[in-house]
Amino acid sequence: MIATTPVRTWELERTPDLIDVVSAARDAGQEVLLIERPMPEAVSVAALGRAFDIVAAGAGVSLEDTDGVVVDFEPGDDRLLAAARLWRRVGASLSSGAAFPIAVGGFAYRPHRDPGGPWSGFPSLLLRVPALTLMRTRGRTFATAATAEAADLLDLEPRSVSTRAARTLTVSPIRNPVAWTAAVESAAARLRAGEAEKVVLAREVMAHGDGVVAAANVARSLRSAYPSCFIYLITGADGTAFVGASPELLVRRSGTRAYAQPMAGSVARGSTEAEDDRLARQLEASAKDGAEHRLVSNFVVEALRPFARTVSARPPEVVRFTNIQHLATAVTADLRAPAADALELAAALHPTPAVGGWPRDAADALIDDLEGMERGWYAGAVGWIDAHGDGEFAVALRCGLLWEDGARLYAGVGVMPDSDAARELDETDLKLKALLTALT
């Protein structure tokens, strides 16, 4: 039995800046999560404090209260599906009249494997029912309180700090670029030998600042620079913060409709509109990028079919972000009744070949052999789900794990049999710029 006060929801008279809200709460010692998409029709969620956590534990997931006491457990080798089953029970138990709870969080690239090393503050899966949730949609902000004192979190003020913000960075790769490009060459050779069709290899770089690297300030910079991306900030139990600006929607579920937008294949932005167009045409004509993208989009369509009456995919298009262009395919599914919820759909899709490769087991074996780093939540997913099963998860890309004066930053590329290692290295540098610019 879950002991709790009734969940209540109300509309705020003003629309607060959600980054300011989570910054003030974090300054006050609260655990915070933020998933923001500054688009007119998008949904943004800020989570303050903790009422309950659904967290990876043993061969399944546990429900823990504010004191860390386990009050429920759901077994299962697939922790995402176990979390979906447990969330249905929790959501039904906490719902009160017209008020419904929301769980916010995400999961690692490998949800079945507990992260280690620098990711020790993050379990492989965490979905939090916050003490207070702020949801902004279409210019209106609604608050949902799951504890008696949760509304007090709205009155917190940002702490005045005298510490100096970082102005310059010292950046160094964790792995020598020569060694990394050799790993890419080895991967391409093994793909040509038939071990897999595609594998994604990532790089990790370390950035040290000459002052404080504040997670909220990084999130603000990312929001300003990448207005069409998912901005996220999730605090770890060890004081670190996972921050990023993802361009890619893993899945969104709204009633009986599901949406995905897989991306694979990239090229830089040009300095002029004409150069942008030229580079976009180059991307569309690239045999390597086209093959990589078809592999990903076809996978997403087929993964959604078991849940849907119909699945449709638009022709690939080039989508532009501040410093990069991607091939993207919009996929829509008309779900069968009873409609699978957002977590079940995420379990079917994750990891897509855009972040792992294909076939999955063969690609993961290559990643273990060649990548040489702990991915943690990089290339996992971040998002939210409500008690109805609606929700949205973004692929955790363009990201970094921050501490007081530095960060570990991550970027990956899709390796195909004909990949050029030097070009793949350049692509990781392009992607890493998103965070490096925001850190100062």
Model pLDDT, residue 439: 85
50 secondary structure, DSSP code: -
Q: In terms of residue numbers, what domain contains 33?
A: 8-149
Our count of domains for the chain comes to: 1
Q: Per residue in 315-342, pLDDT tens?
A: 999 999 888 899 999 999 999 999 999 9
CA atoms within 13 A on the CB side of 152: 6
Of the listed 36, 64, 198, 344, which one is catalytic? 198
Cβ neighbors of 435 (< 8 A, separation 6 or more) are 207, 218, 222, 243, 244, 245, 398, 399, 400, 407, 409
Closest CA to 396 of 413, 382, 416: 382
Closest CA to 206 of 438, 436, 367, 437: 436
Checking if the pLDDT of 305 tops 80, the result is yes
Model pLDDT, residue 4: 63
Model pLDDT, residue 223: 93
Q: Per residue in 77-129, pLDDT tens?
A: 999 999 999 999 999 988 887 778 999 999 999 999 999 889 999 999 999 99
* Residue 249: inside a domain: no
Residue 303: pLDDT band (50, 70, 90) is: very high
Bridge partners, 104 (sequence order): 128, 384
How many angstroms separate the CA atoms of 153 and 48, rounded? 7
Q: Is 248 a catalytic residue?
A: yes
Which tokens in the block code for residue 101?
């709870």
* Residue 394: inside a domain: no
The phi, psi pair for 312, rounded to 5°, reads -130, 145
Closest CA to 289 of 330, 247, 327: 327
Q: In whole angstroms, how far apart are CA 84 and each of 80, 149, 154, 412?
A: 6, 28, 30, 29
Gyration radius of the chain over CA positions: 21
* Residue 311: inside a domain: no
Given a contact cutoff of 8 angstroms between Cβ atoms, the answer to whether 349 and 248 are in contact is no
Q: Per residue in 365-399, pLDDT tens?
A: 999 999 999 999 999 999 999 999 999 999 999 99
Burial of 139 (0-12, 13-18, 19+ CB in 10 A): exposed
Q: Is 431 a catalytic residue?
A: no
Closest CA to 431 of 270, 205, 216, 234: 205
Which tokens in the block code for residue 352?
């897509």
How many angstroms separate the CA atoms of 216 and 235, rounded? 11
Residue type, 243: V
The phi, psi pair for 111, rounded to 5°, reads -65, -20
Which helix (H) or strand (E) element contains residue 49? Answer: none
In Å, how far from its chain's centre is CA 418?
29
Sole residue written with tokens 């620079």? 225
Burial of 272 (0-12, 13-18, 19+ CB in 10 A): exposed
Given a contact cutoff of 8 angstroms between Cβ atoms, the answer to whether 118 and 376 are in contact is yes
Q: Would you give the end-to-end CA distance of the chain in angstroms?
A: 47
Closest CA to 362 of 424, 300, 415: 415
Percent share of the chain, pLDDT over 90: 74
* Residue 414: inside a domain: no
The phi, psi pair for 54, rounded to 5°, reads -95, 115
How many angstroms separate the CA atoms of 255 and 335, rounded? 8
Average pLDDT of every residue of the chain: 92
Helices 273-285 and 287-304: crossing angle in degrees, nearest 10, is 70
Model pLDDT, residue 10: 92
* Residue 103: inside a domain: yes
Model pLDDT, residue 430: 87
* Residue 47: inside a domain: yes
**Count of C-beta atoms within a 10 Å radius of residue 287:** 9
Model pLDDT, residue 144: 92
Query: What's the per-residue H, E or C state across 396-432?
Result: CCCEEEEECCEEEEEEEEEECCCCCHHHHHHHHHHHH
Model pLDDT, residue 199: 96
How many angstroms separate the CA atoms of 229 and 218, rounded? 14
Of the listed 248, 292, 392, 424, which one is catalytic? 248
* Residue 195: inside a domain: no
* Residue 390: inside a domain: no
- In the three-class reduction of DSSP (H, G, I as helix; E, B as strand; rest coil), residue 277 is classed as helix
153 secondary structure, DSSP code: G
Model pLDDT, residue 419: 93
Model pLDDT, residue 164: 72
Model pLDDT, residue 159: 67
